[in-house]
Structure 1
Amino acid sequence: MNDPDGKPQNLKQFQHKTIVLNFWATWCEPCREEMPELSNFYTENKSKNLVVVGIAIDEEKAVQSYLKKTKVTYPIFADEDKGVILSKNLGNKEGILPYTVIINSEGNIQKTILGRVHKDQLDAITKPLLQPSKNL
């Protein structure tokens, strides 16, 4: 997938990390509402082998424009077609946004959340996933 500047990025760069994969779009109000919480969650947990990745199911230009106005601390990728396919492959059969998938460091899906996610949900779901990395 591409970053908002159109540069190809490989999702394998996040292998062996706990991943909070968030599918969103610039036109989606609940998506925009949850972004500050996702940013705070990422900032608090990135040192614990966790990454939040935003996949915009949107046009690159719309994402670029949105990100100029909105501070996001986590990596964002933009691909309307691949994003829809990946979202469906990860269980979003209805195509609802936002859609969040939590993947453990072994690459297994731990939880999927249809609709707006909250930081306290993320804390509760990821806490057991992050504990092993603290003991390394």
Structure 2
Amino acid sequence: MLKSAILIGLLLLAGVSAAFAQQALKPGEAAPEFSGQSLDGSLYDLGQLQGKVVVLTFWSTRCQICHSEIPNLNRVVEHYRGKDVVFLAATMDNEAKVDPYLKRNPFNFTILPNSFATMLKYADKDRSGNINMGFPAHFLISRKGIIAMRTDGWDKASNLDSQISKLLSSD
């Protein structure tokens, strides 16, 4: 009887754990296809960017950490200007929120507003379909469309810089 109760308890615990397990995109996996329109009207999609290293950052105008890291990210963009690297910053915010923000806080990435659908493809999901993505989140995608790195949170610019350099020299 005690063994049966323990077994049932373990099975319930395993079921609860599985229900909350995150299904995160990991390095080595194919990056999900995405498309978006930049503030200047240019269209971007991952398929057209094959052959280039892509830095895809998810951010928000309301994210203080995102705001704090923009100067460091701008330095990374300047470091790789003219190289085969595309810097895209996807946000769920619309143009009405993004435009005034960028006037006060210049961000050298190509901004993709209204990118909720793209975020859903890259966000972690639990088994119930609930999404989870902390901002900022950075995905480094190789020339072949493979996720090379994923980072979340504050001040990842130096790590991003070194990983871009590795990808450019290895591909």
- Under TM normalisation by the shorter chain, which class is it? 0.7 to 0.9
Q: Counterparts of 1:46 and 1:40 in 2: how far apart (Å)?
A: 10
Match for residue 124 of structure 1?
162
Question: Which one has a bigger Cα radius of gyration?
Answer: 2
CA distance in 1, matches of 2:144, 2:114: 25
Task: Map residues 62-73 of structure 1 onto 2, 5 A cutoff.
Answer: 62-73=97-108
User: What residue in structure 2 maps to residue 10 of structure 1?
Assistant: 44
> What is aligned with 2:140?
102
Q: Unaligned stretches of 5+ in structure 1?
A: none
Instruction: Indicate conservation of the 8 Å contact 1:99/1:116, yes or no.
Output: no
Counterpart of 1:61? 96
Over residues 65-89 of structure 1, what are the superposed CA-to-partner deviations in whole Å (9 max), with x where a residue is unaligned? Answer: 1111122222111015224323327
Distance in 2 (alpha carbons) for counterparts of 1:106 and 1:8: 22
Aligned to 2:120: 85
User: Aligned residues, how many?
Assistant: 130
Q: Aligned-residue CA RMSD in angstroms?
A: 2.2
**Residue identity in the other structure for 1:99:** A
Cα distance in 2 for residues equivalent to 1:115 and 1:81: 19
Q: How far apart, in 2, do the equivalents of 1:76 and 1:15 lie? A: 19
Structure 1 residues 126 and 116, CA, compared in 2 at 3 Å: closer, same or farther? Answer: same
Deviations 1:29-83 (A, max 9, x none): 0111111111110111132211211111212210111111122222111015224
Aligned in 2, Cα 1:80/1:51: closer, same or farther, shift over 3 Å? closer
Q: Residues 81 and 123 of structure 1: is their aligned pair in 2 closer, same or farther, counting only changes over 3 Å?
A: closer
TM-score (norm 1): 0.82
Separation in structure 2 between the aligned mates of residue 81 and residue 123 of structure 1, nearest angstrom: 26
Instruction: Indicate if the aligned counterparts of 1:97 and 1:114 stay in contact, CA closer than 8 A.
Output: yes
- Counterparts of 1:120 and 1:81 in 2: how far apart (Å)? 27
Normalized against structure 2, the TM-score is what?
A: 0.67
Q: Which runs of 5+ in 2 are unaligned?
A: 1-35, 125-130
CA-CA distance at 1:4 after TM superposition: 3.0
Name the structure 2 match of 1:27: 62
Within the candidate set 73, 91, 97, 1:38 is matched to: 73
Give secondary structure in 2 for the equivalent of 1:54: strand
Separation of aligned partners in 1, 2:57 and 2:113: 12
